[in-house]
Structure formats: C-alpha cells, structure tokens
Amino acid sequence: AKQAGRSELRCFSQEAGAGTAGPSARELRLRGALERGDLTLRYQPQFEVRGGRIMAAEALLRWTDAELGAVPPDQFIPLAEDSGLIVPIGAWVLEEACRQLARWRAQGWAGRMAVNVSPVQLAQPDLVEQVLGTLARCGLRGEDLELEITERAVLQDAQRASGGLARLRAAGVRIAVDDFGMGHAALLYLLAFPVDVLKIDRRFVQGALDRDHERQVVQALVAFARALNLDMVAEGVETEAQRALMEELGVGLVQGYLLGRPVPAQRLGELLASAQSS
Ligand code: C2E
Ligand code: CA
Ligand code: CA
Ligand code: CA
C-alpha cells in the first residue's frame, strides 16, 4: 500500500509539473471536501465533575472521503494547516457549531459550545470579525462560545495572538488552553495571556492515578488555576477512578469516553433533552 501511495504521489506531482513537488493526493481530496459535504462535526459533552450536568460541548471535526475513507483528525488537521485549507475549514466549523448551539438553545439548553482554533487561524487578521460575525448571525452571545487554543500556539504566538483574543474576550468569548501541561514553560506566558479555562492533557489525567509525577502535575495545575481564577477541564477521562480522582483534586469539569464520546448532533441533542426532563 505504501508503494502504491508513493507512485500516486509521483503521478500527481507530475501533473502539477515543472519540477515542483505538487500537493499530495490527500491534500487534493481535502481541497474538495468542504464542497462535497465530506466534513462533519461530532460533539463531545463536558460534564460537571459533581452532579453530572452537561455544561458544554466540544465540536470535533471528521473527514470521510469516498476514496480515502475516514482520515483521522490527527492526520488531516496538520495537512489542512500546512496548506492553509484550515482557514476556510475552520470558518465552516465555527459557523456549523454555532448554528447547532443556536438550535440547542432554542430547545432550552443553557450550555456552551467549545470550538478548536488552529494557530494558523489565530494568525489571520480577520479572525475577530469572523467570530463576532458568526455569533451575531446565529443570535448568540460571546459567553456562549469557548475557543480552544493549544498550549503550543500560546507559546508560538503569545504576542500577536493575544491582541485578537483579548478583543474576543472583551466580547465575552471564553478562551481555553488545550492540551495543557505538555510544555511546563508555558505557565509564565499564561500569566500574560487572556485565558479563562485550562484543559489538562489526557496524558496527565490518565497517568495521575498510578504515577506520582502526573498526579503532582495535576495538583500543581489545579493550584495554579485557582490562583488565577481559571476553570479547569480534565480531558480523556475513561474510568470512574479517574473521574473520582479529578473530583478529589478539585477539577471542575470532566470530558471523556467514560461519560460521553463524540457523537452526531442529533444524538447529543437527545442526551440534552433527556437530561433536562429528568
Ligand atoms: P483535542 O482538541 O485534544 O480533542 C480531544 C481528542 O481526544 C478528540 O480526538 C477526542 O475524540 C479524543 N477523546 C475524547 N475523550 C477521550 C477519552 O476518554 N480517551 C481518549 N483516548 N481520547 C478521547 P479527535 O476527535 O480525534 O481529535 C484529535 C485532535 O484533532 C483534537 O484534539 C484537535 O487538536 C484536532 N481537531 C479536531 N477537530 C478540530 C477542528 O475543528 N479544528 C482544529 N483546528 N483542530 C481540530
Ligand atoms: Ca480541543
Ligand atoms: Ca486536548
Ligand atoms: Ca490533543
């Protein structure tokens, strides 16, 4: 299969011509994915660690191509970033997720929508207008939306990014730092960064039960978040023991396969409806 993939690549780059390495087969497919309707969103609930109410949903992108099949986000997101396709794709994700939240709002759910934002999107000068425009079109307030930015992006672009994020935050939009804990040096940068939420990387959440180091990192992050008055989400919670430990350590929200996998909008809508009536 590897061999076939390579000759396919060569074939495409010959078409692109003139000695330049053309876009990969995957990139060519990804270019048409939005128009073909091959991109969809799944929604994963975030629960109160105590009480179990669903407080937010994270929109997670899926790509299913007729020829390539389902390509995992960890593979196509980097491709979309390198090619710039993440800009139109990210705009679509934001619009789609906000439209969905507006529907759930109309059904009486008061939760937030969390949307992942790539560093490439952060560097776009019109991101702020785009986000505010989407919120307005969907009849939502800034407080209804949470943007998830990776810790890596915070470090890479603390200066430029924080200007736009500060404006969004002034409009009530919540800023979450995703995959938190992976780069410890980031703590200092965060002091100067407009942030509302820390999402602890699942490596620490899952390791905290068995290993002192991971537990101490989570403890330190909780203390740090308290001092800065930030909310915390533990991601990748797969077992009741992990959930209970997060509760004991003082983490407010949990997300993970134990309580809810990423599911199509209709399925999460059913969950939200049944949670309200119970
Ligand atoms: P992420 O933002 O850290 O999202 C969490 C990932 O962990 C998701 O993977 C989710 O399905 C998975 N997950 C949730 N609960 C559990 C659990 O209990 N155990 C385990 N093992 N995994 C769990 P997914 O959907 O494959 O997404 C992978 C990454 O792709 C995301 O990581 C995010 O960085 C990126 N991504 C996804 N959608 C978007 C998007 O719309 N825009 C951008 N820029 N990136 C996206
Ligand atoms: Ca995320
Ligand atoms: Ca994450
Ligand atoms: Ca991740």
CA distances from 133 to 88, 122, 125, 168, 237 (A): 15, 16, 14, 11, 34
Which tokens hold the place of 46?
A: 């975030």
CA distances from 206 to 46, 85, 200, 221, 238 (A): 17, 33, 10, 15, 8
DSSP tally for the chain: helices H, then strands E: 13, 9
Rounded distance between C-alpha atoms, residue 65 and residue 69, angstroms: 5
Is the ipTM value over 0.90, yes or no? yes
Residue 22 has pLDDT above 60, yes or no: yes
pLDDT band, residue 211 (cuts 50/70/90)? very high
> Which residue type is seen at 130?
Q
List of residues 6+ apart from 191 with CB closer than 8 A: 228
Confidence (pLDDT) at 160: 61
Residue 150 has pLDDT above 90, yes or no: no
pLDDT band, residue 11 (cuts 50/70/90)? very low
Confidence (pLDDT) at 162: 62
Q: Which three-class secondary structure state does DSSP give residue 148?
A: strand
Atom of ligand 1 nearest to the CA of 41: 41
Rounded distance between C-alpha atoms, residue 185 and residue 33, angstroms: 38
Find out whether 209 and 180 touch, Cβ atoms under 8 Å.
no
Indicate if ligand 1 lies below 6 Å from the C-beta of 116: yes
Indicate if ligand 1 lies below 6 Å from the C-beta of 252: no
Indicate if ligand 1 lies below 6 Å from the C-beta of 93: yes
Specify the residue with its C-alpha closest to ligand 1, atom 8: 60
Indicate if ligand 1 lies below 6 Å from the C-beta of 194: no
Indicate if ligand 1 lies below 6 Å from the C-beta of 164: no
pLDDT tens for each residue of 179-194: 887 665 566 667 677 7
Residue 205 has pLDDT above 70, yes or no: yes
Q: Where are the alpha helices (DSSP H) in the chain?
A: 2-16, 25-36, 73-83, 86-106, 119-122, 127-137, 151-156, 158-170, 186-191, 202-207, 212-227, 240-249, 265-277
Question: Cα-flanking dihedrals φ and ψ of residue 10, to 5°?
Answer: -60, -40
What residues sit around ligand 3, an ion, with C-beta below 5 angstroms? 178-179
Q: Please state the rounded mean pLDDT for residues 223-236.
A: 93
CA distances from 269 to 65, 103, 119, 169 (A): 26, 9, 30, 28
Residue 145 has pLDDT above 50, yes or no: yes
Rounded distance between C-alpha atoms, residue 52 and residue 14, angstroms: 56
Confidence (pLDDT) at 12: 44
Atom of ligand 1 nearest to the CA of 81: 44
Confidence (pLDDT) at 20: 63
Rounded distance between C-alpha atoms, residue 92 and residue 95, angstroms: 5
pLDDT band, residue 153 (cuts 50/70/90)? confident
The DSSP bridge partners found for residue 174 are 146
Residue 195 has pLDDT above 90, yes or no: no
* Other CB atoms within 10 A of residue 125 CB: 9
Specify the residue with its C-alpha closest to ligand 1, atom 4: 60
Q: How much of the chain exceeds pLDDT 90, in percent?
A: 71
